[in-house]
Copies of this chain bind each other. A is one copy, B any other.
């Protein structure tokens, strides 16, 4: 970090507001290392959902850069996180992404930890060896109504609880804990994680690139330059705005908080939410805009609940529909590659082929993810070009991209003590 600090300080200070970042933020291995140390090791990172470890003994591993984390449900039904490293010779303890165990046993020399991380067996270490000092190292973990966030720092941002308090009422009705994972896709996007997030924070590119996603999504919901709309489009935009407001009022009357909370660049744990009306039949993110799963989530009886979106800095976005949830975690691999892990959740009692058709459930976001991956790749190759220079964001359609950059630059400024 010592060598990179002056470069980073210069680049952080030199960031031009309203523009994409300087190229090294996307391409430099040194800045990537700083991102992993100052952003991904110091903030709350979204990694999965409680249904990933539904039963006691269920274990999930997730990698954040070179850190590997065990998420375990213990025998008291508590979800805990540990570093995935044996305290003996340092072997990775669990290789599989998902497994179910009685205890956590290292394959190398059979050191054995219980599900609370305590070392309970270490053969041949002799009578003077003190097992109590060699339990698994814990990792901070929080569940926001079933969404799991970890923080690798011993001093995690304290404002998580306030986010949880404000977001809880929005998410709780969708009952994440009562879902199952119908499908998971792991897609490696050929670009820096910030390009993945930038791409996620605007729909300026949707019209030209996402023929599937723009079936349920209203084009007007993501900004436009009013001067460029013809009278018919302008009237449609006005109608959409009226629909948004009346929908909010109706949904909130049903006990579903829906109005925007926008805190993307105003707090350490930046986030944003809003429930938005959907086009067509207005039920779900599907090609026919109808629910993909016959069993609704939670206690919902009305299918036309729009889509509740939730974004967190630095690495997640989520769409809560009436019938399913799609939840995304962006996990950086190196300066030029990012794993986007997508999980589709349905009511845990739903039966594939009976209550939902898997191809129909995942069609919109599988196509959209592939399209986004190609766009992120184009931007990465562009940023690597010596002729690249930061370009201007649209004040009408790229406001949330700018807010991500402000959050990132702000966090780097504070972490670097600038």
Contact = CB atoms under 8 A, between A and B. Distances in A.
Nearest to A88: B391
A379 interface: yes
B91 A396 contact: no
A95 B378 CA distance: 8
Nearest to A128: B395
A205 B85 CA distance: 17
A226 to B, nearest CB: 9
Interface in A59-78: 65-68
Interface string A78-108: 0000011111111111010000000000011
Contact of A378 (B108, B205, B384, B387): B108
A363 to B, nearest CB: 22
Contact of A83 (B66, B87, B385, B392): B385
A109 interface: yes
A23 to B, nearest CB: 8
A85 B382 contact: yes
B126 A396 contact: yes
Given A109-B204, A109-B205, A20 B89 contact: yes
A252 to B, nearest CB: 30
A208 interface: yes
Contacts of A395: 125-126
A67 B387 CA distance: 7
B381 A92 contact: yes
Contacts of A88: 391-392
A225 interface: yes
A327 B129 CA distance: 36
A355 B385 CA distance: 42
Nearest to A208: B110
A207 B66 CA distance: 30
B385 A85 contact: yes
A327 to B, nearest CB: 25
B205 A108 contact: yes
| Secondary structure call for the A interface | loop
Contacts of A209: 107-108
Nearest to A137: B387
A125 B225 contact: yes
A386 B108 contact: no
Nearest to A397: B124
A162 interface: no
A382 B205 CA distance: 41
A157 interface: no
Contacts of A417: none
B225 A126 contact: yes
B92 A378 contact: yes
A116 interface: no
Contacts of A148: none
A391 B224 contact: no
A228 interface: yes
A388 interface: yes
A280 interface: no
> Of A67, A83, A378, A397, which is in contact with the most chain B CB atoms at under 10 Å from its CB?
A378
18 contacts: A20-B90, A84-B382, A85-B388, A86-B382, A89-B382, A90-B383, A91-B379, A91-B381, A92-B381, A108-B209, A108-B375, A108-B379, A109-B204, A109-B208, A109-B394, A110-B207, A125-B396, A134-B392
6 nearest A-B pairs in the assembled complex, by CB-CB distance: A83-B387, A91-B378, A90-B382, A124-B225, A92-B381, A88-B391
